[in-house]
A and B are shown apart, each in its own frame.
Chain A
Amino acid sequence: MFLAEVLGTVVSPVQHPVLDGERLLLLRVLLPDGRPAGKTRIAIDRARAGVGERVLVVDEGNSGRQLVARADAPVKTVVVGIVDYIELEGRLAYDARA
């Protein structure tokens, strides 16, 4: 799993049927300390995340298929949690509770 920041949404009126009704989010991948890391991603939202929130993202096929409950789904990138805080080497690296 990796950490990301929700940048916004992706509107896709024509897509693979397994994605119908799913909310797609545009994500900036982050290092634990908040620096950007790697390519911009799109993920299915299963955590009801909002723009600006830090989220936990799974990027693995079996997990994706399990979440959409279809054994043949071409899905692997899914937002599975909203991060409350991150502790890194004994101190808070991120805190959304304040």
Chain B
Amino acid sequence: MYLARVIGRVVTTQRVAGLEGVPLQWIQPLDELGQPAGRALVACAVVSSGPGDLVHFVDGREGALACPQPFVPVDAAILGFVEQAVAGDERIARAE
């Protein structure tokens, strides 16, 4: 699992069967200081979240398991809304 920030959303009306109604969010993975790390990606939002929110997500086959129907072609899913992540004296929280 990884830490990320929601930076946008993707809307697709026509999509693969089984993914109806699952929101898709653009997320930017973060490093231990809360700074962007690596490429942004699209993830299914199993837990509701909006732009600026801090979240944690899982990649690979487990992303699909988090979806309402588990046998779907999905490789990333937001599993939780993060209130804060604490690393030593560093506190990563939602952008105000």
The answer to whether B79 and A16 touch across the interface, beta carbons within 8 angstroms, is: yes
With A39-B29, A41-B1, A42-B3 known as contacts, the answer to whether A16 contacts B47 (CB < 8 A) is yes
Residues of chain A at the chain B interface (Cβ within 8 Å)? 7-16, 19, 24, 26, 28, 39-43, 51, 61, 64, 72-77
| Contact assessment for B56 and A61 in the assembled complex, using a CB-CB cutoff below 8 Å | no
* Contact call A10/B85, Cβ cutoff below 8 A: yes
Residues of A with C-beta under 8 A to B84: 10-11
13 more A-B residue pairs beyond the given contacts A10-B56, A74-B66, with a C-beta to C-beta distance below 8 A: A7-B88, A8-B86, A9-B86, A11-B85, A12-B80, A12-B82, A13-B81, A39-B2, A40-B30, A42-B56, A75-B58, A76-B1, A76-B60
Decide if B77 is an interface residue (CB 8 Å cutoff). yes
